[in-house]
Chain A
Amino acid sequence: MSGVLVVAEHRQGEVRPITYELITAALKLKEDGAGPVAVLVVGGDDSVAGAVGPSGVDAVVTIDSPTAEFEPHLTERAVAAAIEARQPAVVLTGHTVDGFGFAPAVAAANDFGFASNIVAVEANDELTAKRGVYGDRLLAELSFERTPAVLMVRPGASQPADPGGEAPVESLDADLGQSPSEHLAYRSLREGDDEVDITQSEFLLSIGRGIGDEENVERFQELAEKLGATLTASRPLVDAGWLPPARQVGQSGRTVKPKVYLALGISGAIQHLAGIRDAETVIAVNTDPAAPIFDVADYGASLDVHDLAEALEARL
């Protein structure tokens, strides 16, 4: 067994960005000596297959699917068929919502090696990978006894490769059978929300659990207005209904790219940090000096956000 199989992710005819990050990771494994790189495209039209074979990729393998959109059971069977055909040592999928739906089942049903939430993977003497544990405070270094190893790699772990169509495209026949689930429709989480588009704002004041109770939202709304910032929030506040989904920053909310992101009382879960990667300046204020947000922030202060709000209010 040798080689790397990347499972491409696409939605509504577009290649998802994680695909190009996985290709970068696969090409690095190839440099380490892991063998040829193949990119698997399940379903999707020719434009998807034509975009995921940049220079260095040895083959793009397509498997026709009866459904245009992602279906986890069909993808599971297609990945198993591609593994059977190509005998890779490593399979890379996204640690993404689509990835969650099939990758662990592929590994469980076929007794493959497996790990998810992967931040780094290497194939020097043997395959090793690192994953976040204990709420990302520690990294676990992993080794694998079973092959292939199916690894779900976190968005942001690698720089994206450029799209390209240099690699030959091969079609693989596989009978994917019936699917027990059916795609009905796509909708926006933000339907009917207020009109704010937080991706267009240059200055975001973002609040998290650290603000305490719902009645404190108003204070930070007023502070944001005084500073000329747009108020946004981390997921728990939106889940609790304190702010509408349109104002949620993070993987399931919006990916933002403001000049300044001022995070008040946000500890910095990975899904949140994924949404602020492109912010120019991140300023974080949180009582816990070990909060992960301080790793990505440019400026930080270990303070109670209400004390800070009071001091800012006095100065504005």
Chain B
Amino acid sequence: MFKIVVPIKQVALLDDEFELEPGASEVDPDWIDRELNDWDTFAVEAAVTFKEEKGDCEVVVITVGDEDSEEALVDCLARGADRAIRIPSDDLPPDPLAVAAALAAAIRPEEPSLVLCGVQSSDAASSATGVALSGYLDLPRVAVVRAIELDPAGGKAKVVRELEDGLLEDVSVSLPSLLTVQTGANEPRYATLRAIKQAADKPLATVAAEELGTDTAALAAQAGATVSQLANRPKGEGAEMLSGDSDEVAAALIEILKERAGVANGGGS
């Protein structure tokens, strides 16, 4: 059977009112809202679409996270994944290499035919966990793909890489391999309430590092860097804010456009 493993992440969104405490190296969880990473929804959709079209395929979603992140796994199960695995993130730093090492320990025994990751997570934007995982698993990989054509019988996939400046590259890669999927690759479905209810019956296993032949300390030691401190992003000079209601702002805006963009009096029409 063709097996697709999709590592996912429940990302952290900072509350608008958040203020950083001086010297802090992490954010108090009270300030964080969470959701399934946008990029991962495209990876899950690609896996589930392949399963629906070809059959004889299992889709396994996996995350490194706390208990709350099971919500994101259930979301993926409701979108059509078959089973889910959570590796508890207690004492594991949010570092792409440490997380990839934990994922690798759980994915290796699964012997996947294909691993699909999102290109990046919206919070950390490392663009690194997936390709680091391919390094640990010694799998070929292609980063930033927006189209996938699988040929399991031929042992390869034809993919389209999205480069900078609107350039695309067609690439052929041998299977098994790992691909990182870009947004826009497909149209991710939403989980219906009924599907979410049904997803509760699908298998969701919590697997500790020790059950995978390693331990949290060893995985944490894989971290590529140590966060010594968090700081507010330095602001540039910042924008001159136009005040007033929408009509006053519109009037000010038209004056700026006349001066800077040569917009004629009353507009270009």
Contact = CB atoms under 8 A, between A and B. Distances in A.
Interface of A: 11, 69, 72-73, 76, 95-98, 100-109, 111-117, 128-130, 132-146, 149-150, 152, 180-190, 202-203, 225-229, 235-236, 238-240, 245-246, 248, 251-255, 259-260, 262, 270, 280-285, 288-290, 292, 294-304, 307-308, 310-312, 314-316
Q: Which of A105, A107, A312 has the most CB of B within 10 A?
A: A105
B169 A102 contact: no
A145 B226 contact: yes
13 contacts: A107-B132, A133-B124, A187-B170, A239-B183, A252-B162, A252-B163, A285-B249, A294-B239, A295-B239, A299-B242, A304-B246, A307-B246, A315-B266
A75 B232 CA distance: 35
Given A181-B140, A294-B239, A311-B250, A142 B162 contact: no
B122 A141 contact: no
A229 B269 CA distance: 11
A239 B127 CA distance: 19
Chain A interface main SS type: mixed
B184 A238 contact: yes
Contacts of B138: 109
B225 interface: yes
Interface stretch (B60-68, B70-78, B83-91, B141-149): B141-149
Contact of B231 (A73, A139, A304, A312): A139
Interface stretch (B8-16, B51-59, B195-203): B8-16
B232 A294 contact: no
Interface stretch (B107-115, B205-213, B256-264): B256-264
Interface of B: 12-14, 16, 18, 20, 27, 96-97, 100-101, 119, 122-136, 138, 140-144, 158, 160-174, 177, 180, 182-184, 222, 224-236, 238-243, 246-247, 249-251, 253-254, 256-257, 260-264, 266-269
B20 to A, nearest CB: 7
A26 B142 CA distance: 28
A114 B128 contact: yes
A252 B184 CA distance: 12
A108 to B, nearest CB: 3
**4 A-B pairs closest in CB distance:** A228-B268, A114-B224, A108-B135, A300-B239
A284 B236 CA distance: 15
A255 B260 contact: no
B142 A72 contact: yes
Nearest to B20: A138
Contacts of B253: 262, 283, 299, 301, 308, 312
Given A108-B132, A115-B224, A235-B183, A135 B140 contact: no
A115 B225 contact: yes
Most chain A CB inside 10 Å of its own CB: which residue of B124, B126, B128, B240: B128
A301 B242 contact: yes
Contacts of B268: 225-229
A212 to B, nearest CB: 16
> Which of A72, A103, A104, A300 has the most C-beta atoms of chain B within 10 angstroms of its own C-beta?
A104
A186 B167 contact: yes
Q: Which of B236, B238, B247, B257 has the most CB of A within 10 A?
A: B257
Nearest to B173: A181
A150 B126 CA distance: 13
B171 A260 contact: no
B35 to A, nearest CB: 12
A198 to B, nearest CB: 11
B58 to A, nearest CB: 24
A251 B12 CA distance: 24
Contacts of B227: 140-142
Given A137-B14, A186-B167, A144 B226 contact: yes
A297 B260 CA distance: 14
A245 B13 contact: no
A106 to B, nearest CB: 7
Contact of B135 (A109, A116, A310): A109
A125 B220 CA distance: 25
Most buried by B among A100, A284, A299: A100
B184 A100 contact: no
A140 B227 CA distance: 6
A103 B226 CA distance: 18
B123 A134 contact: yes
A144 B24 CA distance: 18
Contacts of A227: 257, 261, 263, 267-268
A117 B44 CA distance: 25
Contacts of B222: 108, 111
A134 B226 CA distance: 16
A117 to B, nearest CB: 5
B135 A104 contact: yes
Given A105-B134, A299-B239, A307-B246, A133 B230 contact: yes
A73 B140 contact: yes
A222 to B, nearest CB: 10
A182 B161 CA distance: 12
Given A132-B125, A299-B256, A311-B247, A138 B231 contact: yes
B164 A283 contact: no
Contact of A107 (B140, B166, B224, B236): B224
Nearest to B140: A180
